[in-house]
Structure formats: C-alpha cells, structure tokens
Amino acid sequence: MRVILTQSVKGTGSKGDVVTVSDGYAINFLIKKGLAKTASAAVVTHLSQKEQKVQKIKREKSKESKKILTQLKGKSITIKESANEQGTLYAAITPKKIVDTISTQLGVKVLESAVTFPHPIKSTGTHSVKITLLEQIQCRVTCVVLA
C-alpha cells in the first residue's frame, strides 16, 4: 500500500515522503496513529505540484541572494559611535545597527538574522562582519567604527 507520511517515521521515511509499505503496517499502525495518509493519485499529484512550487521559490531566493552578494562583496561601512579615550565604545554595535547602516550607506536590505560577527564589536577600529544570506551564500563586509 502506498502512503504519504505526515511525520517522520524511523526506518520508513521522512515527512512528506510517498512510501510503499505492507497493508497491515499502513492500516494498523501508520494511519491509525496519524503518521500517514493513503496516497491517492490526486494527493500524489498535489504533492508534486507543491514540491515544484517550493523548488521555484528556492531558486528565486537563491538568485536574489546572489544579486545582494554581488552588491555587498568587498564593501565597507562606517559607523560613528561615542567612545572613551581608549577607544572602547559605551555600547556594543548590534546586528540591527549593522543592518541599518548597510541599508543607508549601501542601499541593500539585509535581514538582522543574517548578520554575525566572531566577537562583539566594543571598540573603535576595523572589524569584519559576516553576512549569511543562504546556507551556501555568504560574504564579509568591513565595518569601520569611528569615535
């Protein structure tokens, strides 16, 4: 019997997979516990169309991320913050501050969750900021902090 898994089942498959299992296993365990639904032709067609839409959205996001990457690659931003005589900032630079500065100085919109830095920026000077747009699409932007 062909079923569509509504949840991941160890040894059988992941959520959304169409698998063929024995009739007893499907009826008495998977369907009864709500782990699967019977896979009719209409449901399988609907799932494949849904998967195609998801793949199309992923391709569009990837294309847009690569466009943003080319706009950010090798760029530098300048942030002015108040600091003491030793160059220590009174408040650390936050990802929100980085995103706002990128937006105003470079004209590129980036999500706050995409910005990471190896250590908190608490002093003046030049710092490297990593922008992760997608898992495999990332770049570094130089952040110059001035007092």
List the chain pLDDT tens, one digit each, 147 residues: 889 998 999 999 998 888 999 999 999 999 999 999 888 888 888 888 888 999 999 899 888 888 888 888 888 999 998 888 888 889 889 899 999 998 999 888 888 888 888 888 899 999 988 888 877 888 888 888 888
Collapse the DSSP code of 72 into the 3-class scheme (helix H, G, I; strand E, B; otherwise coil) and give the result. Answer: helix
Please name the residues in contact with 78: beta carbons below 8 A apart, sequence gap of 6 or more.
101, 105, 144, 145, 146
Q: What is the pLDDT of residue 120?
A: 85
Sign of CA dihedral 62, 65, 71, 73: negative
Q: What is the pLDDT of residue 22?
A: 93
Residues of each domain in the chain carrying CATH 3.10.430.100: 66-146
Q: What is the pLDDT of residue 111?
A: 87
What CATH fold (topology level) applies to the domain 2-59?
Ribosomal Protein L9; domain 1 (3.40.5)
The residue with tokens 């995409």 is 114
Contact criterion met (CB below 8 Å) for 14 and 3: no
Residues of each domain in the chain carrying CATH 3.40.5.10: 2-59
Q: What is the pLDDT of residue 96?
A: 92
Q: What is the pLDDT of residue 28?
A: 93
Q: pTM to 2 decimals? A: 0.65
Structure tokens at 22: 């024995």
Please name the residues in contact with 82: beta carbons below 8 A apart, sequence gap of 6 or more.
89, 90, 147
Q: What is the pLDDT of residue 143?
A: 86
Please name the residues in contact with 33: beta carbons below 8 A apart, sequence gap of 6 or more.
none
Q: What is the pLDDT of residue 23?
A: 92
CATH number of 66-146: 3.10.430.100
Continuous segment of H or E residues that includes residue 88: strand 88-93
